[in-house]
């Protein structure tokens, strides 16, 4: 029986990236749906749960994607509400690759060193990857600070993380090199989660800082988020710090994404959100 993956994308077009990884992960057939919302997802879910019976249901699964994690989270809740009794299939949430990217980055940091009790600063921490990374770092026992160009946005992100993950973070306003340097001056861990081609931290701000032990940067397009790193760095030592670049993180991210697609078809009742994805990343790191 074919393994069917139905991709519910909140964007105007289904993600080509997610489609390719779905096939590489073991799906036999992938069907992508665009502009999926809480208002129209019900009929799509019904199509997945009322067709195959018994043990056959494990061969049908749902992947929720799109550029907005907020929309993805809302969609996931509506999908789960549609399930009842044995009428359910496995589902994975990875809007904008945020769960798998953050999980891979933090898992590599956790493999490199014990994170408990360390201070972690997430630069550009109010985006989906930054917020997920912040939550995962906090779950490891870190004191987590999220930076944003506006203090109110940083505080709002910290509040959302507390409500969703029941962990504590704090906010820090930073929008220029001096402020970013100030943000990390007493940090042990730096996780740069900024947008493509945006440099957040100058090399001079971290290379001689005796407190910083670990650095991760998820931006692969020059200029990188952290000056002085290479995108291919994976546990490389630079200026006495252990560093990870976007491609170094991306290898685990892709491996994780593919593996979880395969796991969706092992049973019909799995939900892969941030916590489950991070647990899998730590096993694979």
Residue range 226-241, pLDDT digits in tens: 999 999 999 999 999 9
pLDDT at residue 71, as a whole number: 97
Number of domains, the chain: 2
pLDDT at residue 65, as a whole number: 98
- One domain for residues 105 and 79: no
pLDDT at residue 147, as a whole number: 98
- One domain for residues 179 and 244: yes
- One domain for residues 189 and 220: yes
Question: Which residues of the chain have a pLDDT value below 50?
Answer: none
pLDDT at residue 252, as a whole number: 98
What span, in angstroms and rounded, lies between the C-alpha atoms of 107 and 253?
10
Q: Are 227 and 199 in contact (CB under 8 A)?
A: yes
266 found inside a domain: no
Q: What are phi and psi of 166, to 5 degrees?
A: 60, 40
pLDDT at residue 237, as a whole number: 98
Distances in Å between the alpha carbon of 186 and those of 65, 144, 213? Answer: 36, 12, 11
Q: Of 93, 115, 144, which closes a domain?
A: 93
- One domain for residues 23 and 164: no
Q: Of 93, 128, 143, which closes a domain?
A: 93
- One domain for residues 134 and 51: no
- One domain for residues 170 and 65: no
pTM of the full structure: 0.97
- One domain for residues 124 and 231: yes
Token output for 240? 């006495």
Residue 48's nearest CA partner among 7, 97, 96, 95 is 7
Token output for 48? 């997945």
Q: Of 29, 60, 93, which closes a domain?
A: 93
User: Quick one: DSSP state of residue 87?
Assistant: B
Token output for 40? 């129209």
Residue 58: domain span: 4-93
Q: What are phi and psi of 231, to 5 degrees?
A: -60, -30
């Amino acid at each position: 029986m074919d393994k069917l993956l139905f991709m519910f994308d909140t964007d105007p077009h289904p993600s080509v990236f997610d489609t390719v990884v779905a096939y590489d992960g073991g799906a036999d057939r992938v069907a992508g749906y665009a502009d999926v919302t809480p208002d129209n997802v019900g009929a799509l879910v019904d199509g997945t749960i009322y067709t195959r019976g018994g043990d056959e249901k494990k061969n049908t699964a749902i992947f929720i994607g799109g550029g907005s994690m907020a929309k993805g989270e809302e969609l996931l809740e509506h999908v789960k509400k549609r399930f009842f009794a044995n009428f359910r299939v496995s589902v994975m949430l990875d809007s904008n690759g945020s769960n798998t990217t953050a999980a891979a980055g933090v898992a590599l940091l956790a493999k490199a060193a014990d994170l408990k009790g360390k201070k972690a600063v997430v630069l550009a921490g109010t985006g989906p990857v930054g917020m997920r990374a912040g939550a995962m770092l906090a779950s490891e026992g870190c004191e987590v600070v999220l930076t944003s160009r506006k203090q109110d946005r940083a505080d709002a992100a910290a509040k959302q993380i507390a409500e969703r993950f029941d962990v504590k973070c704090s906010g820090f306003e930073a929008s220029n090199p001096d402020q970013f340097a100030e943000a990390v001056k007493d940090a042990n861990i730096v996780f740069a989660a900024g947008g493509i081609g945006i440099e957040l931290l100058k090399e001079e701000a971290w290379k001689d800082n005796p407190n910083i032990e670990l650095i991760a940067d998820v931006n692969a397009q020059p200029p990188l988020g952290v000056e002085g790193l290479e995108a291919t760095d994976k546990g490389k030592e630079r200026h006495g710090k252990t560093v990870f670049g976007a491609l170094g993180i991306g290898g685990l991210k892709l491996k994780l994404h593919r593996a979880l697609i395969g796991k969706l078809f092992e049973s019909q009742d799995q939900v892969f959100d941030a916590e489950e994805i991070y647990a899998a990343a730590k096993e694979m790191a």
